[in-house]
Chains A and B, each alone.
Chain A
Amino acid sequence: MCRCQVIALALALAATPALGDVLHLKGGGRVTGEIVGETEAAVTVDIGAGKMTVPKSSVVRVETSTSPLQKYRAQAASLAPGDVEGWRKLGRWAAAQGLSLQAREAFTRVKAAVPNDPEANQALGLVLLNGHWVTEKESFVAHGFVQFEGEWMMPAERQAILGERQAGEEADRQALDAQIQAEQAERAEQKSREAAERDIWNGPLDQNRADWDNGIYGYGPTYWPAQPLTQPASPRPAARRRQ
Chain B
Amino acid sequence: MSGLAAAGRPLWALALLGALVTACSSPAPSSPPSVDEIVAANLAARGGKERLQALRSIRQTGTVTESDGRVAHVVREIQRPGLFRLEFTYQGTTSVFANDGKDGWQIAPLQGQFEPQAMPPEADAAGGADQRDVEGPLVDWRKKGHVVELAGRESVAGAKTDKLKVVLRGGAVRYDYVDAASHMVVRSDVPRLVRGHRVELQSTFSDFRKVSGIVFPYHIEIHIKDRPEILKVAVERIELNPELDQASFRMPR
Interface residues of A (CB under 8 A from B): 25-33, 47-52, 54-55, 58, 67-69, 95, 97-101, 103-104, 122-125, 136, 139-140, 143, 145, 149-154, 157, 160-161, 164-165, 168
Contacts and interface: CB of A to CB of B under 8 A. Distances in A.
A145 B116 CA distance: 37
B interface SS class? mixed
A152 B114 contact: no
B157 interface: no
B90 A100 contact: yes
B93 A52 contact: yes
Given A100-B90, A101-B91, A152-B228, A164 B197 contact: yes
B94 A28 contact: yes
Nearest to A59: B114
Interface residues of B, number: 41
B115 A152 contact: no
A22 to B, nearest CB: 8
A25 B114 CA distance: 7
A196 B74 CA distance: 73
Given A27-B252, A28-B107, A143 B92 contact: no
Contacts, number: 125
Contacts of B94: 28-32
A25 B89 CA distance: 14
Nearest to B88: A98
B4 A104 contact: no
Nearest to B5: A50
B80 interface: no
Contacts of B9: 150
Given A30-B93, A31-B92, A151-B229, 15 more contacts: A27-B98, A30-B89, A30-B94, A31-B94, A32-B93, A33-B92, A47-B4, A52-B4, A98-B91, A99-B91, A101-B91, A136-B67, A150-B9, A151-B227, A168-B196
A124 B7 CA distance: 15
Contacts of B116: 26-27, 29
